[in-house]
Amino acid sequence: MKDHANQKLPLQGVRGAHIVILTGAGISAESGLKTFRDSDGLWEGYNIEDVATPEAWQRDPALVQQFYNERRKSVLEAEPNAAHYALAKLEGKYKVTIITQNIDDLHERAGSTNVVHLHGVITRSQSSKNARLTYPITGWELGMDEVCELGSPLRPHVVWFGEMVPMISTASQICAIADLFILVGTSLAVYPASGLINYVPDEIPKYIVDPKVPTVYNVANVTKIEAKATVGVPELVSELMR
């Protein structure tokens, strides 16, 4: 990997170029959100198997609903941080697509208009019978008595462990046509999102912003920015906007 210091960025002055950004838990963590399990295997004190799988929903839907209601409340109370706002500024000069692994809506609230949610978004519900039927949630609480147009209970619009990731094909196609690729706040440990960087053409410049930059193999033109998102992203965006 190359170091970031004193390097002229390839897209400086290229208005309208397509920047693709993949974001993970690290960018939301700086807004106070835990979007994935801790090192002890728990997510906000719960076992993943009890609250984030189709089997958990079948076994105890009320517990799963309660868990996501609490997460939704936390999301609505959180605010976008400097990294979210910086990425939104890029739209003033470039075509920007954000692909996020996070289920919060902080990118949208910061002003980004083209966001692909790989794992769904917690501020929406979906039919437990047909995942394509999704609905906005008013407030933070989704009740067990709320049903979709097919009469089945509404569940969080979130991709659970063991479920397919419907947007992964779309995301891979977007990565394949990037003019510049930025990775922010992800350890590249969650499959299949971890493989998206491999769809970016070799000749395209790639930037990774993280306090602990993950190791990537067989990927060319990678520049590391070892900093937390609220520091590294505004710095990178500032240079891109010159």
Query: Is 119 an annotated catalytic residue?
Result: yes
Rounded Cα gap, residues 194 and 105, in angstroms: 21
Q: Which pLDDT does position 39 carry in this prediction?
A: 59
Is pLDDT at 142 greater than 70 in this prediction? yes
Provide the token pair at 217. 């193999």
Q: Which pLDDT does position 102 carry in this prediction?
A: 95
Rounded Cα gap, residues 48 and 45, in angstroms: 9
Residue ranges of E strands in the chain: 2-3, 18-23, 42-43, 46-47, 95-100, 115-117, 120-127, 134-136, 154-158, 180-184, 206-209, 222-225
Q: What is the mean pLDDT of the chain?
A: 91
Is the CB of residue 75 less than 8 Å from the CB of residue 101?
A: no
Q: How confident is the model at residue 54 (pLDDT cuts 50, 70, 90)?
A: very high
158-183 average pLDDT score? 96
Is pLDDT at 75 greater than 70 in this prediction? yes
Catalytic-labelled residue, pool 4, 84, 119, 157: 119
For residue 173, what is the enclosing H or E element? helix 168-176
User: Which tops the pLDDT comparison, 191 or 108?
Assistant: 108
Single-letter code of the amino acid located at 83: A
% of the chain residues with pLDDT over 90: 81
Rounded alpha-carbon distances, angstroms, from residue 177 to 95, 96, 142, 204: 12, 12, 38, 9
Give the pTM.
0.91
What is the DSSP track for 10-22?
TTTT-TT-EEEEE
Domains and CATH numbers, the chain: 1-33+80-119+166-242 (3.40.50.1220), 35-77+120-158 (3.30.1600.10)
